[in-house]
Amino acid sequence: MPSDVTEADREATAALILKLRSKGIGSQKVLSALERVPRRLFLSAPLQRHAYEDSALPIECGQTISQPTIVAMMTEALDVAPEHRVLEIGTGSGYQAAILGHLSRDVRTIERYKTLADLARARLSTLKIDTVHVHHGDGTEGLAEKAPFDRIIVTAATPELPQALIDQLADGGKLVAPRGPAGDVQSLVVIERKGATTVSRDLAQVRFVPLVEGVANRL
């Protein structure tokens, strides 16, 4: 572990893992990945004392870091294997990407805010996670030049998923995303592509910030 990670981080992370187990997260590989990523390092200094609470917290650019239970649930539903090519829409703090980086050898993550993209890149470097590549761009367009992807995760909500993301999902692939209106309860859905068709199932009710087109005008 990097020197930035303290014994207190390790103890608090271990306690968080126990809490996630009690909430029904059963995948050992997901829990192991979460255990290797200290959430404190993805928050600004004033909020670090809340890092290991099971709650969403504000981050830069008016965005949020999801609560650990939701991160674990989405990661478990994604069912990532080392050989899977993974695309994340909405890098945010980089916390979810860091966890995915311990599960896959090739993770691409897109963030519309340059400030967030730069911060996430620095945090991933600090943790020596070199399996994640951060892109500053429009997440609604996906990353066609690297498609298809075996797994796609969207960390912002939209009433309808952009067709570009469906098109970039490999046959047999899975996509996990919150679907619904901004500012209201949304459904966390798992979509599986089977040839030219997709099959969808609801996983839970959630609240996420909205998925916005374009690259942000402000940093």
Q: Among 158, 47, 145, which residue's Cα sits nearest to residue 87?
A: 145
Residues linked to residue 181 through DSSP beta bridges, in sequence order: none
Catalytic residue among 55, 66, 125, 200: 66
Q: Is 55 designated active site?
A: no
Looking at residue 11, the DSSP 8-state letter turns out to be H
**CA 46/CA 144 separation, integer angstroms:** 38
Q: Mapping DSSP to helix (H, G, I), strand (E, B) and coil, where does residue 171 land?
A: strand
H/E segment holding residue 71: helix 68-78
d(CA 94, CA 144): 21
Q: Which residues are catalytic?
A: 66
